[in-house]
């Protein structure tokens, strides 16, 4: 398994809100983009739990903005 650098130490203990805030502070972008950057940073092993955490959080934010079929 490839070694990777974690986006945030202790990411496992963050709530969704804390993770969004931390990602936004780190990347200084809107919440969805900042979370996507965090997922991208650890995407070398898509089966790892940190990647899944950030990717799933990105999906939650994406679905929150989606209205109807447009």
The pTM (predicted TM-score) of the whole model is: 0.81
Phi-psi group of 52: left, alpha or beta (phi > 0 → left; psi -120 to 50 → alpha; rest → beta): alpha
Phi-psi group of 45: left, alpha or beta (phi > 0 → left; psi -120 to 50 → alpha; rest → beta): beta
Q: 1 falls in which pLDDT band (50, 70, 90)?
A: very low
The secondary structure of the chain in percent helix, strand, coil, rounded to multiples of 5, reads: 60, 0, 40
The arithmetic mean of pLDDT across residues 41-47, rounded, is 82
């Amino acid at each position: 398994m490839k070694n990777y650098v974690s986006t945030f130490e202790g990411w496992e203990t963050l709530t969704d809100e804390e993770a969004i805030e931390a990602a936004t502070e780190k990347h200084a972008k809107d919440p969805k983009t900042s979370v996507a950057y965090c997922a991208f940073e650890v995407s070398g092993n898509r089966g790892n739990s940190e990647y899944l955490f950030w990717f799933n959080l990105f999906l939650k934010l994406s679905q929150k903005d989606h209205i109807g079929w447009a």
